[in-house]
Chain A
């Protein structure tokens, strides 16, 4: 890391709330960083994006594409499940498979 210079102090404290909510748990180190791509309808981007604050957003027709990195796959899968179908995992395949496996296992348990 090269330090070029330091800016002025922040003029106000960083606004923080409940630590359980503000820490992006997908950034916690379960493994090396991986790139993720999620997609949702652009009409639902506002609600989805607030849960993926580090995402870069691009447009593709009626859909928005969210790209970011994560280190905690189970947190990513849990967050996508929590959005109840508003967003889907396109990549990586491991996260997609983990979601399919977890949801499939619950549905199988419900039906048995």
Chain B
């Protein structure tokens, strides 16, 4: 299991093993840590999860089972998640035929009931927290420690809390390209042309572009600018720089644009991954991928949609970047022309890192 690296979860093995009869609050705390790990990883072996948060595996399974059953009733009809257990033969069915297998189910999986890409902790642990609030909490914890009013056992707890909060403060909060997107939105609203340096995100080609901006929008995992073209040219905002407004406002009429989904050609790609792997989660949650075939207990095929035309080399390079990020265990099943998609950008990266 890849170790969890979450701001509020202690590193694997750091928490002492919790006794089975520990107070409910302490057990709930470990369960919440486990849910954070599950939310980041999607699925993992119960034994690994238990070791990560300092619980006996049997107790971990009991707590997860209780939470799974309590879910919707305990948290209301909007409880946005589900937990399920599986064996090496796959997920257990919900009828009685798999009751015997449930005792040996060694993998637990967390899934969202709100569709791909909507994780449990969108609603709980990942809710944005104001930096000033965290700073206040750190200060309060430090002042409490200085006040000498705490009992010895409380001091340790407060020290741990202060350390976690201080660590969280070090994670910088930043929205890539947000200021560029804001500037472009101003240009769209003012109907004023823009000029920018554009590095094609996948081919690496760089150029100065002058464009007539029509719309700023989110396209899957990116922010894009739709500008005048045939019928619309889309630019990845994340690779723009030196953006400036040029000419006068009200310089053009904004035409009626196609629906956002119709502005960019999409290429369907099928990738083969291991079930319950980080790669499956990355594709299904991050890319809105859909499992189209369970090939065997060790392999399944996931279909995603890539921006661009299959015949466009830039589309292959975009897939190549994704494959390089995912690692060598993922294979391209279709289109066949994309099977070597990682080669060009991979060689470019290795050339840049020659020792």
Which residues in A have some Cβ–Cβ distance to B below 8 Å? 1, 3, 6, 9-10, 13-17, 19-24, 27-30, 43-47, 50-51, 53-54, 71-72, 78, 80-82, 84-86, 88-89, 96, 99-100, 102-111
Tell which of B206, B328, B348, B350 touches A109, judged by Cβ atoms closer than 8 Å. Answer: B328
Report the separation of the CA atoms of residues A107 and B344 in the bound assembly, to the nearest whole angstrom. 9
Query: Could you tell me the distance in whole angstroms from the C-beta of B89 to the nearest C-beta in chain A?
Result: 27
A29 and B353 contact, Cβ closer than 8 Å, known pairs A3-B139, A46-B242: no
B131 — which chain A residues lie within 8 A by C-beta?
A: 14
Query: Could you tell me the distance in whole angstroms from the C-beta of A59 to the nearest C-beta in chain B?
Result: 15
A110 and B173 contact, Cβ closer than 8 Å, known pairs A43-B206, A84-B348: no
Query: Could you tell me the distance in whole angstroms from the C-beta of B241 to the nearest C-beta in chain A?
Result: 2
Asked if A24 and B171 sit within 8 Å, CB to CB, the answer is: yes
Please name the residue on chain A nearest to B9 by beta carbon.
A29
Most chain B Cβ neighbours within 10 Å, of A50, A71, A111: A50
Report the separation of the CA atoms of residues A96 and B294 in the bound assembly, to the nearest whole angstrom. 36
A82 and B128 contact, Cβ closer than 8 Å, known pairs A29-B5, A96-B353: no
Q: How large is the interface on B (under 10, 10 to 19, 20 to 34, 35 or more residues)?
A: 35 or more
Which 4 A-B pairs rank lowest in CB-CB distance, beginning with the nearest? A46-B241, A53-B174, A16-B128, A105-B328
14 additional A-B pairs beyond A106-B327, A106-B346, A107-B343, beta carbons within 8 Å, are A16-B173, A29-B167, A45-B241, A50-B174, A50-B180, A51-B176, A80-B349, A82-B321, A82-B325, A85-B204, A85-B348, A106-B323, A106-B342, A110-B346
Query: Could you tell me the distance in whole angstroms from the C-beta of B317 to the nearest C-beta in chain A?
Result: 7
Query: Could you tell me the distance in whole angstroms from the C-beta of A64 to the nearest C-beta in chain B?
Result: 11
Tell which of B7, B171, B202, B342 touches A110, judged by Cβ atoms closer than 8 Å. Answer: B342
Asked if B173 and A23 sit within 8 Å, CB to CB, the answer is: yes
Confirm or deny: B93 has a beta carbon within 8 angstroms of a beta carbon on chain A. no
Report the separation of the CA atoms of residues A107 and B321 in the bound assembly, to the nearest whole angstrom. 12
Asked if A22 and B340 sit within 8 Å, CB to CB, the answer is: no
CB neighbors of A among B298-312 (8 A): none
Tell which of B130, B167, B238 touches A14, judged by Cβ atoms closer than 8 Å. Answer: B130
Asked if B328 and A84 sit within 8 Å, CB to CB, the answer is: no
Please name the residue on chain A nearest to B136 by beta carbon.
A6
Confirm or deny: B345 has a beta carbon within 8 angstroms of a beta carbon on chain A. yes
Confirm or deny: B132 has a beta carbon within 8 angstroms of a beta carbon on chain A. yes
CB neighbors of A among B311-355 (8 A): 317, 321, 323-325, 327-328, 331, 339-340, 342-343, 345-353, 355
Confirm or deny: B191 has a beta carbon within 8 angstroms of a beta carbon on chain A. no
B122 — which chain A residues lie within 8 A by C-beta?
A: 19
Query: Could you tell me the distance in whole angstroms from the C-beta of A100 to the nearest C-beta in chain B?
Result: 6
Report the separation of the CA atoms of residues A44 and B198 in the bound assembly, to the nearest whole angstrom. 9
B199 — which chain A residues lie within 8 A by C-beta?
A: 44, 47, 86
Asked if B343 and A110 sit within 8 Å, CB to CB, the answer is: yes
B345 — which chain A residues lie within 8 A by C-beta?
A: 84-85
A81 and B325 contact, Cβ closer than 8 Å, known pairs A24-B171, A107-B346: yes
Confirm or deny: B11 has a beta carbon within 8 angstroms of a beta carbon on chain A. yes
A15 and B178 contact, Cβ closer than 8 Å, known pairs A3-B139, A24-B172, A106-B342: yes
